[in-house]
């Protein structure tokens, strides 16, 4: 079992890892199927420490914040380590956000340094919002072409200080990262994650799903995402394992990477897992009748023999061709970020490809429960990881209530949001807003949300309030955005939709012109944030004394309408 008790910070733990396995490869850097380089732990150290020294020479000190916006690649991890080495706090931002959203979060985080890839910086530097993020004094731009205009940035590759940097010690309760779980439109929810949160989570996860030198983790989820940050960086590095970067999410290159690198672990969101399922199923369907019969027979044998626990060598023997397509070394496919349908999970388990599905949220330090495969239970999200206390608050007659979590992995709070923090962490328990219950064997099952939000199949959290500003100035009396399941609880985690609820101006009707306006604004939103439909409500919205909409009360009133009749598609 991994022991990180002697460390008080990620910087320390990573420093020792780089010293322990100097000759092991820690990163395989590929670009569209072409391997560009292999980086050992020694190489990693030699690239990161000059950057740390440069940052220190530039005045970057303990507690200072550095935002990073890059695709999954070595410079992301090297920069992160350099920031931790300096005692800084990392602010990982989503490279898929729009420039104005990235600026907004960078500003909110209080970052003084920004580290970005050139294509990202090219858009960011031209984007609105730069003037507001006046605290950012230093911008490091990686991989800029020789004649590129850096718009005030400094080349990452040339940001190398001479001499040894000093490792700045931090305490376990000090901030390691500020991770935004949402809030690009409304209130930014910057989760303050401590060094202790990550060290504890790392031990908990690797107890069930260990890494060791020789293990290869395929990094597909964005590294700014809490899951990839843990299992695509901190977890493998503290254990001497390797991470494979592809620089693309094209399905053909992802498929090719499994056999090429003999991948051990990969983390996927449900969307990608389902895509793999479709591809495999199509290939099975194309088999000639005789081969298909034999294949189904072997699959059924595998199902019977691995009913109680995975027997990987046996599954590889029985269903060799399927396993070869995945490289033949898969220990587990980690799936998270959003709810996965049990049929998809079972499909892979029946092929002898264990899927470690689980339940987690950034606020809880990523994973709360994970399937321990003893036995595999596709209808649940697994059992609490070691060190996690999970309870159901106010259960109803069916035992379903709000899931609450207490653990050393739970965040310190939301940045600059003491009220929101107090609402979310009550007496040391993180109120997740998700509804669930435990079955008799201690597996957690989820039944919808209590929160006005959706989680897409790509693992994106979208809070309804966050997209309201896209509809500001709409010619209606008042409007509000809701997650449909918040109004009409469905006890389901799939098919979540956002709806725009409108109260029209008195004497007006819903015109085609208004519909076109809504559609046009909706289309300007990034695809996963778009509305599914609208609801016309004929009465005044309930308001507070300060004229804010009382969402809970409005949702209750709307809930009296029939969902199918209320929602009009746009």
Partner 1 sequence: MALALVFLPVVWGAKLMTMRTLEEITQEILDLAVKQFKVPSGSLKAEDDFYKKLGIDSLQALELLSRLENHFKIELPDYEVQGVSDFKTLAERVQSRL
Residues at the contact surface with partner 1, assessed by CB under 8 A: 32, 71, 95-96, 98, 117, 119-120, 247-252, 271-272, 275, 457-458, 523, 526-527, 530
- Quote the least distance from Cβ 249 to partner 1, whole Å: 6
Taking the complex as a whole, how short is the minimal distance between the CB of residue 304 and partner 1, in angstroms?
Answer: 33
CA distances from 429 to 48, 195, 366, 434, 471 (A): 37, 19, 15, 13, 35
Give the residue with the Cβ less far from partner 1, 48 or 567: 567
CA 80 to chain centre: 17
Q: Which of 123, 22, 14, 30 is nearest to 72 (CA)?
A: 30
**Which residues make Cβ contacts (< 8 Å) with residue 108, sequence separation at least 6?**
183, 188, 190, 415, 416
Minimum Å gap between C-beta 301 and partner 1 is 32
Per DSSP, the residues of 122-180 read HHHHHSTTTTT-TT--EEEEES--TT---TT-EEGGG---SSPPPPPP--TTSEEEEEE
Q: How many CA atoms lie within 13 A of 364 on its CB side?
A: 27
- State the nearest-atom distance from the C-beta of 523 to partner 1, in Å: 5
Between 121 and 537, CB nearer to partner 1: 121
Q: Compare residues 303 and 570 and give the one whose CB is closer to partner 1.
A: 570
Contact 192, 409 (CB under 8 A): no
Structure tokens at 405: 């979590």
- The angle, 0 to 180 degrees and rounded to 10, between the axes of the packed helices 118-126 and 99-109 is 90
Q: Interhelix angle for 74-85 vs 41-57, to 10°?
A: 50
Question: Which is closer to partner 1, CB of 307 or CB of 524?
Answer: 524
Q: Please check whether residue 272 is in contact with residue 348, taking contact to mean a CB–CB distance below 8 angstroms.
A: no
Half-sphere exposure of 278 (CA within 13 A, CB side): 7
| Token digits of residue 554 | 């409005």
For partner 1, the closer CB: 437 or 532? 532
Rank residues 457 and 465 by Cβ distance to partner 1 and give the closer one. 457
Least Å distance, CB 550 to partner 1, is: 32
Identity of the residue, 127 or 395, whose beta carbon is nearer to partner 1 in the bound complex = 127
> Smallest distance from the beta carbon of 288 to partner 1, in angstroms?
25
Least distance (Å) from partner 1 to the CB of residue 248?
5
| Chain position carrying tokens 């597909």 | 220
Closest CB 566 distance from partner 1, rounded Å: 21
- Which residue lies nearer to partner 1 by CB, 122 or 195? 122
The set of residues, in sequence order, having a beta carbon less than 8 Å from that of 210 and lying 6+ positions away, is: 2, 239
Question: Is the separation of the CB atoms in 434 and 403 below 8 Å?
Answer: yes
Backbone angles phi, psi at 291, to 5 degrees: -65, -40
Q: How far is CA 300 from CA 295, 331, 332, 347, in A?
A: 9, 21, 20, 12
With respect to partner 1, which residue has the nearer C-beta, 441 or 523? 523
**CB 119, min distance to partner 1, A:** 4
- Considering beta carbons, is residue 18 or 97 the nearer one to partner 1? 97
- The distance of closest approach from Cβ of residue 166 to partner 1 in the complex, given in angstroms and rounded to an integer, is 35
């Amino acid at each position: 079992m991994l022991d990180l008790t002697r460390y008080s910070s990620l910087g320390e733990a990573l420093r020792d890892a780089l010293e322990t396995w100097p000759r092991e490869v820690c990163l395989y850097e590929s670009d569209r199927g072409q391997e560009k380089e292999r980086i050992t732990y020694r190489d990693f150290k030699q690239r990161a420490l000059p950057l740390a020294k440069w940052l220190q020479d530039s005045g970057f000190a303990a507690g200072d914040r550095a935002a990073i916006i890059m695709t999954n690649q070595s410079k992301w991890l090297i920069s992160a380590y350099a920031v931790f080495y300096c005692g800084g706090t990392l602010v990982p931002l989503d490279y898929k956000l729009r420039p104005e959203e990235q600026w907004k979060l960078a500003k909110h985080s209080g970052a003084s340094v920004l580290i970005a890839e050139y294509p990202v910086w090219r858009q960011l530097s031209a984007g609105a919002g730069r003037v507001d993020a006046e605290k950012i004094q230093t911008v490091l731009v990686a991989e800029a072409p020789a004649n590129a205009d850096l718009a005030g940035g400094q080349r990452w590759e040339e940001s190398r200080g001479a001499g040894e940097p000093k490792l700045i010690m931090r305490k376990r309760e000090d901030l390691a990262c500020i991770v935004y779980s949402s809030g690009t439109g409304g209130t930014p929810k910057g989760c303050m994650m401590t060094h202790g949160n990550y060290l504890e989570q790392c031990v908990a996860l690797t107890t069930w799903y260990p890494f060791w030198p020789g293990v290869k983790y395929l990094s597909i989820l964005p590294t700014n995402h809490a899951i990839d940050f843990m299992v695509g960086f901190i977890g493998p590095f503290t254990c001497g394992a390797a991470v494979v970067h592809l620089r693309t999410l094209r399905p053909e290159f992802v498929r090719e990477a499994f056999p090429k690198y003999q991948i051990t672990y990969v983390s996927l969101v449900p969307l990608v897992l389902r895509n793999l399922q479709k591809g495999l199923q199509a290939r099975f369907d194309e088999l000639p009748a005789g081969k298909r019969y034999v294949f189904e027979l072997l699959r059924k044998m595998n199902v019977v023999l691995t009913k109680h626990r995975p027997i990987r060598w046996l599954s590889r023997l029985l269903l060799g061709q399927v396993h070869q397509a995945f490289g033949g070394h898969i220990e587990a496919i980690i799936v998270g970020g959003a709810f996965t349908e049990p049929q998809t999970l079972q499909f892979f388990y029946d092929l002898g490809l264990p899927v470690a599905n689980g339940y987690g949220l950034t606020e809880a330090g990523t994973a709360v429960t994970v399937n321990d495969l003893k036995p595999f239970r596709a209808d649940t999200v697994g059992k609490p990881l070691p060190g996690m206390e999970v309870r159901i608050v106010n259960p109803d007659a069916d035992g379903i209530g709000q899931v609450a979590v207490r653990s050393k992995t739970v965040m310190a709070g939301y940045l600059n949001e003491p009220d929101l923090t107090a609402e979310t962490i009550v007496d040391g328990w993180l109120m997740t807003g998700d509804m669930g219950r435990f079955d008799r064997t201690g597996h957690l099952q989820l039944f919808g949300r209590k929160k006005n939000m959706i989680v897409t199949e790509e693992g994106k959290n979208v809070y309804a309030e966050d997209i309201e500003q896209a509809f500001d100035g709409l010619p209606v009396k008042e409007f509000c955005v809701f997650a449909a399941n918040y109004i009409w609880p469905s006890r389901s985690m799939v098919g979540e939709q956002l709806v725009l609820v409108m109260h029209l101006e008195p004497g007006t009707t819903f015109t085609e012109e208004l519909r076109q306006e809504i559609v046009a604004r909706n289309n300007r939103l990034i695809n996963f944030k778009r509305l599914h439909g609208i609801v016309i409500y004929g009465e005044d919205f309930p308001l507070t004394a300060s004229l804010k909409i009382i969402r809970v009360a409005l949702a209750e009133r709307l809930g009296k309408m029939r969902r199918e009749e209320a929602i009009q598609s746009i």
